Amino acid sequence: MKILIVFDKPIPVAKYGGIQRIVWWLGKELVRQGHKVIFLVGEGSTCPFAEVKIYDPEKPLSVQIPDEVDLVHSYIPVMEELNKPYLVHMESNTKKPEYDINTVFVSRNHAERHHATCYVHNGLDPEDYGRPAFNKKNYLHFLGKAAWRVKNVKGAIEVAQKSGNKLHVIGGSRVNFHMGFRFTVDPNMRFHGMIGGEKKNKVMQESKGLLFPVIWHEPFGIAITESMYFGCPVFATPYGSIPEIVDADSGFLTANKEEMINYLKDPADFDYKRIHDRVMEYFSITPMANSFLKLYEKIMNGETLNASKPYFEKDSEPKFLPFA
């Protein structure tokens, strides 16, 4: 099969970049399984395993699709008629009144909140992370864009402090002006900024768990699965996709701050290898690509992926979910 993957940002990503990594990983696995992939992506992109064409936002998408492709897998909205079967892969929490009927969401919860049924869980590429050691140290870690209030780094810091845990923050700095003003003095809170690759992997490799008290419905959360890849249990709020990813043997979920603090004073023992194995079975690139291949077959046979067009009801969710 010849598949065009469309995204308006450059690949590969230099540091973190969640969606860019999914785009890259999916294309890589499809090629490994014998399919031809063409990337139509942002300026500056390169790729050793697939052909790259540069997406022009000033031109209709329809005129940028090569004749040879069988199907279009788009990470940007399709606003016009295409002469090829296509799907739209929705990764974010956008709140639009209507979506394409062939929209694929990234978790069951993500789909249900948009009155849809079609979803595929994101999968990570083990080759980007190396072999996990399951050698846990004496700190927790937070992973996410700390400048986004919904990621709740402030709550993570408070939980770590009150439960007597050191915390390494990946994706934020000690001084932050984006959420009012936050200056964290405590030396037990270490900030790594926006790091990727081996530096980020090392922090997770040596962590005893991910502290992730988000206050929104997390669409998927690659931070969760890549932490679990290293055997890290997840201590999080039960919002969005998180209960689909984190089972009773791989973490502890609560929206009650005091309950989380008390739990982390003396957490349960976890089987780190089992947590890693859960990611490999359900949340790696192979099951993700296999799920999409089944959807490709459906749309090439003229079927739609949802019974009707997904939509989001305005004001159906609060801006921030409780963590108190």
Q: Which pLDDT tens digit goes with each residue over 87-99?
A: 999 999 988 899 9
Please provide the average confidence, as pLDDT, over all residues in the chain. Answer: 94
281: how many CB neighbours lie within 10 A of its CB? 10
Average pLDDT, stretch 287-311?
A: 98
Q: How far is CA 125 from CA 22, 152, 251, 282, in A?
A: 9, 27, 22, 12
At the top level of CATH, the class of 126-281 is alpha beta
Domain range list for the chain: 2-124+286-300, 126-281
DSSP state of 231: T
Amino acid 168 reads H
Tokens of 52: 């790259």
- Distance (Å, whole) CA 237 – CA 142: 13
Amino acid 20 reads Q
Q: Which pLDDT tens digit goes with each residue over 146-172?
A: 889 999 999 999 999 999 999 999 987
- Distance (Å, whole) CA 163 – CA 323: 16
Q: Collect all residues with Cβ–Cβ distance below 8 Å to 150 and sequence separation of at least 6.
A: 214, 215, 216, 320
Nearest CA among 217, 190, 183 for reference residue 206: 190
CB 167 within 8 A of CB 190: yes
Note the pLDDT of residue 175: 59
Q: Which pLDDT tens digit goes with each residue over 171-192?
A: 877 656 555 545 667 889 999 9
Confidence (pTM) = 0.94
* Correct CATH for 2-124+286-300 of 3.40.50.2300, 3.40.1350.10, 3.40.630.10, 3.40.50.2000: 3.40.50.2000
Nearest CA among 217, 264, 207 for reference residue 244: 217
Q: What's the burial of 72, exposed, middle or buried (CB within 10 Å: 0-12/13-18/19+)?
A: buried
Instruction: Identify the band that residue 11 occupies on the pLDDT scale cut at 50, 70 and 90.
Output: very high
